[in-house]
Amino acid sequence: MALKDSTEGYGIVSKVLHWGMALLILWQFLSAASRYFFEDTAIEAFFWPTHKTLGVILLVLMFLRLVWALINRSNRPPSVSLLSKTGHWVMYLLVIVIPILALLRQYGSGRTFDVLGLPIFEGFEGEKIQWMLDLGSDFHGELGWILLALIAGHTIMTYVHQKATPKKDVLARMWK
């Protein structure tokens, strides 16, 4: 199986990144939903503790995926339409912007922050940085739910293309 992408289909690196991240993103939304709908219940206690750590891991993976997409840019299966191409780039952008907004808010709170034992911010004394808190509070969750809607649309469109006549077998190039 090819490592790199080709015009016929995605290579193993793109496939592992796509499906692996799809699972992690699903978990990320389960944890967000657990907090939004089931605050202070056993459901939140089960899902929520991974949210910040997994969010940072997703940010790192998305950067790697962006670099990989740029390396393979001229050698990928052609997009079905301009809309699908734009949709894919918007999803990239959101998976980068959403965690960055949360990290800004985290920094602005002045609290120490580490991920899997790795120190990310030291924390500081004194006043919190209000604009960072506001940016995170105003946009992190909202853009998060927009991303979820885009992913739902993306999944539905895969089904629509598979069922269309003539069939556009987009699944084969990402799955087989």
C-beta of 9 vs 165, nearer to ligand HEM: 9
**C-beta of 126: minimal distance to ligand HEM in Å?**
21
Quick one: 4 or 154, whose CB is closer to ligand HEM? 154
Q: How many residues bind ligand HEM (CB under 6 A)?
A: 41
The answer to whether the beta carbons of residues 12 and 1 sit under 8 Å apart is yes
Closest alpha carbon to 13 in 59, 53, 57, 68: 68
Check binding of 108 to ligand HEM (CB under 6 A).
Answer: no
- Using the contact rule CB under 6 A, the part of the chain among 37-45, 92-100, 121-129 near ligand HEM is 92-100
Gyration radius of the chain's alpha carbons: 18
CA distance 35 to 55: 15
**Which of 11, 50, 129, 158 contacts ligand HEM by CB under 6 A?**
158
Phi-psi category of residue 126: left, alpha or beta, with phi > 0 → left and psi -120 to 50 → alpha = left
User: Shortest Cβ distance from residue 34 to ligand HEM (Å)?
Assistant: 10
- The helix (H) or strand (E) run that includes residue 63 is helix 51-71
DSSP secondary structure, 107-155, as one string = HHTT--EEETTEEEE---SS---HHHHHHHHHHHHHHHHHHHHHHHHHH
Residues at the contact surface with ligand HEM, assessed by CB under 6 A? 14, 18, 22, 25, 28, 32, 35-36, 51-52, 55-56, 58, 69, 77, 79-80, 84, 88, 91-92, 95, 98-99, 102-103, 106, 137, 140-141, 144-145, 147, 151, 154-155, 158, 170-171, 173-174
